[in-house]
Structures are given as C-alpha cells and as structure tokens.
Amino acid sequence: MENDPVNVNEFQELARQALPKMYYDYISGGAEDQFTLKENMEAFQRIMLRPRVLVDVSKIDMSTTLLGYNMSSPIMVAPTGAQKLAHPDGELATAKAAAACNTIMVLSFASSYTIEEVASTCNAVRFFQLYVYKRRDVSAKLVQQAESNGFRAIVVTVDTPRLGRREADIKNNLIIPKMKNLEGLLSLDVNVKGGSNLEAFASETLDPSLSWKDIGWLKSITNLPILMKGILTAEDAMKAVEAGVSGIVVSNHGARQLDYAPATISVLEEVVKAVSGAVPVLLDGGVRRGTDVFKALALGAKAVMIGRPVVYGLAAKGEYGARRVIEMLQNELELTMALAGCPSIKDITRSHVCTKQDMLRSLM
C-alpha cells in the first residue's frame, strides 16, 4: 500500500491519530508513573549485538516449534482484550492475520468476540488466556469452551490478584464494552461513580486468594498444556516447573500492573537459567524491532509475544495492518539474523549479545 509505515513506531502514531483518546490511552498506557512501560523498551536498547562475519547466510530459516506446533518464526501474538476498541473486526481480524503469518495467537478471555466466533475464522493453532475468578466454575467453563473449540493450550495469567492502577483510564472514566465470553456467566454490570469500569469489574471478579495450589486445580480440569504468564523471578520460575506447567511467559503484563517491576528482557536470562531447559520460556513486553526478538532469543527465549504492536496495526489498517506488523517484525528478524551471521534460529547463541552486566564484568 502507498504510504505504508516502515516500522512499528509509525503504526503506533497512525493508531493514535485514528482512535479516540480514551481508547488509545487504554491500549498504550501503563500503571502509575509508567516507569516500567518505558523500561520495557529501553532495556532492549542497552543490549548490544555481537555479529559474526563470513558465515553463509544465503538462506535464513526462522522457523521454530512450540509445544510441538510449527511456527514460521518465533513471533507470537500476545493476549490483548477488547480489540473492538481498535477496529470493528477486532480479534477476528487478528486471528486471520496470525494465521496468514503461520504463527500462534493467544486469545484473551476479554475478547470482543466469543471463543466460538474466533475459532470459526480460520483453521489455525491458537491458545487461550485465562484469569482464575472468585467463581471457579466460570473459569472452568471458559477452559471447557476453549478446549472444545480446538484451542491447543491454556495461558493462565498469574500477576493480577488486583488490577494495577492505570491512571489514564481513571481520568478518562474508561468504559470497556461487555466481555462476550463472560455473558451469562458473570454479572457484567458494575456501578461506577467516576473512574474506570474495568477497575470496578476487576475488583468484583478477580480472586486475590489465588495461590500455587490452584495450579493443581487448573491442571485437574483440562488435558491441555498450561503456560504460566507473569513470571519475573527465578524463584517463581522454579515453583512453576514444580507445579507442572508446560511453559513460562516472562511478563509484567505490558507494564500495566506493578510499576517499577523490572523490564522483562532484563530478567529473562535469570528465569531461563532457573528452569534449566525443563520447559520453554517465552518473553512478553517491549518488543518493537526484529533486533529485540533476536536479543530475546540469544538470552534463551523460545519465542516472543507481541501485543500492543499488533493492536496498533489493527487500529491503523485493520486485518492488513495487524498482518503487516507481524510480517514487519519477521522481516526485521530475518535481516538481523543475516547481518549477525545466524542462518537459523538454533545458530543464535548467548555469545551474540552483550548486556550491561557483561560490560560491567569485563571491567572487573
């Protein structure tokens, strides 16, 4: 298309221009001072690449697998809710874009469209993201619906005993559309006197008593593999492995929960070392360039998830925009691999990056 954006940041600017301020702030914003929001991206910029030369890179193979499922590249679509705020086709368009790029989409429980509607868009591998509610029967029903509609894994979010303080949403008196997957399961009417209705809904439904024992309950109600999203420390990573999960997503919820939590890329290696290959580790948060993907892979990630960038593409240009964002990052990763001397994903190693800690150690 004429005047297409040439990078993800340009898609973000188009999204800002296209959306009402309330919706753009909801999609782009973080918690409190938004320190972690900025740090998620800036931490990538402190990692340098160490390219190898005179390597045959005439053919670049970005393909990989996750839980036995093939992907054209290690770039997945993260769960982001209420995508109809960005575009009328919402998650239906995103599902088609992910399938066209031969990658895995993780559908948010807060999708603007039902599990069944998204499943019927096209044949593709999809995972389902879950919150565990005070009413366990609601969570169980969602798991059953996902399983019966061909979703291949459950991604349970574990960093939200309460909703983070998202001040832009409070100031904007954010009104989130009703969550179609929860209709008939939970009361979606909340009384709000100013502030965000999402915050009010979360306080009524999320379970602050959720603990490690509940992972056992979740495993007991499904045959699907379970990935745990929201891990930021070695200690919790080891507990997750002990709990029997099939994968870990290093995530700070897009910096929307606990401000001043670390950038995900800065703790990725700690988590990877803690699990010692027992389960795949994914990275979520701050990815805006193919070089970011490369850095995450070099530090041990099996794949990365992208959330906001896809929604920016969706807001700017619908399904085409969402697909272009994924393709753009895939193309940037392919170029980075060629310039770094890595013809395949397995050729990307820890020696291809230099972190701030590496630099400090070299001075000692």
Residue 60 in contact with residue 91, Cβ under 8 Å?
Answer: no
Distance from C-alpha of 130 to C-alpha of 83, rounded to nearest angstrom: 16
Residue 16 assigned as binding residue: no
Residue 285 assigned as binding residue: yes
253 is catalytic: yes
Beta bridge partners of 282: 249, 303
Residue 256 assigned as binding residue: yes
Residue 111 in contact with residue 180, Cβ under 8 Å?
Answer: yes
Distance from C-alpha of 271 to C-alpha of 55, rounded to nearest angstrom: 31
Residue 308 assigned as binding residue: yes
Residue 289 in contact with residue 73, Cβ under 8 Å?
Answer: no
Instruction: Give CA separation, 105 vs 77, 79, 140, 151, 297, in Å.
Output: 5, 7, 21, 10, 19
Beta strand pairing call for 105-107 and 126-130: parallel
User: Which of these is catalytic: 84, 253, 302, 323?
Assistant: 253
Residue 323 in contact with residue 77, Cβ under 8 Å?
Answer: no
Residue 253 assigned as binding residue: yes
Beta bridge partners of 1: none
Beta strand pairing call for 64-66 and 69-71: antiparallel
Which positions make up the binding site for FMN?
79-81, 108, 129, 157, 229, 251, 284-288, 307-308
Which positions make up the binding site for glyoxylate?
26, 131, 166, 253, 256
Which positions make up the binding site?
26, 79-81, 108, 129, 131, 157, 166, 229, 251, 253, 256, 284-288, 307-308
Query: Which active-site residues does the annotation give?
Result: 253
